[in-house]
Chain A
């Protein structure tokens, strides 16, 4: 069967498919845009798993994983992943490094204290969340503003369900400069264990121009820009192309 010869049959089959699944798809409509961010979150966790880290889900609430949808809300009320990398040292000793992978957690600027921004995914050292009790920063009814201090932020990822365009790529560089200024200046940490470098994850594919911008930025800075994650979801964590993924060290 080919659509070019059997157009009516294809139309009939599409209609049949839609009639069977329309109700379910309609029910999902409200959340459908958030699903891509979930997949990117999963990719980051998978990256760590494939790079020798042990992964555990933390802060389950009555057996459920509560996904943080927006920057508001206390991190304590949401679930996250804890990752652990163990090194065996001489003499049978072990060194354990622990980090947390959060979604929608505010992070302090690495240039100016008291300025915060919320990347989609952030990897922080364990226990790196700080509390700020200054009512000017939080919504009425909240008791505190929670953020990750610069020194505990190891890396972050920004996820966009878009096709790439130049301003989007350069906007990401603004984030890199603001929250990981050492990476922007080429003075990124080098200590083990390694993390995925600050990354921009886009669902859409690029054209010639945006691919050229991506190539230029990734050559100039230790960052990753992933295009077309709808179609090649494994790019950030695939073992086969792990050499294409830029890594940076830990802030210890």
Chain B
């Protein structure tokens, strides 16, 4: 009787060991795998036959240590150590780099691999990822469709898309269109460099001062103009400070906010802020995102 107990223990340890190896191997994979694929990835001593592996994986799936996935491309179930939702997150955040797709396009693209989730769940996940910042979202010029991507929907993305559209419309290549754009960009930059050169130092000073006053704060930082003026009093006074702020505003790097009650301000209060058009008094500045 005692012998049988010993045998039983060894058997359990053995099973436990291969279970752990299977789980570790699945964890090292980028996506769910069939039994056949899993066997190839297992270390040599554990490459048992498919039936034995299938039995082991089935029991792991039953106790929740691995997740079972519906067949994809081959007629065999797949297994992974992560949940369908985690798989969906992985697909959406790794397979959309440099691609800008609508929610429906993403659902269509991934639904075959994500049969465990319905279309609504995938769509909601796309939106959740966008809200949490793990996916970027935005619209292309002239389009009403919201697009999602692991890459930022930034000026470059909009420009690339616009170039492709122009190329399609005129039956030419994007490279040809890009050649038309580049000289203009160059000349703009050169012109800007020339005309702004005198202000660059002052603008840099202002932006550095904002960083020093609000360490770690980036776009969206708010700062009272009076506080900034006082901070830079000995480096950038009077008109130079005003000019630098106005230049930054023209460049789209900051916005001003209008004081809601200019009548309440005395002369000193007005002077330490910034005069705007039409008698407006600018009160604070916001660093644009």
Q: Is chain B a partner of chain A in the same complex?
A: no
Q: Which A residues have a C-beta under 8 Å from some C-beta of B?
A: none
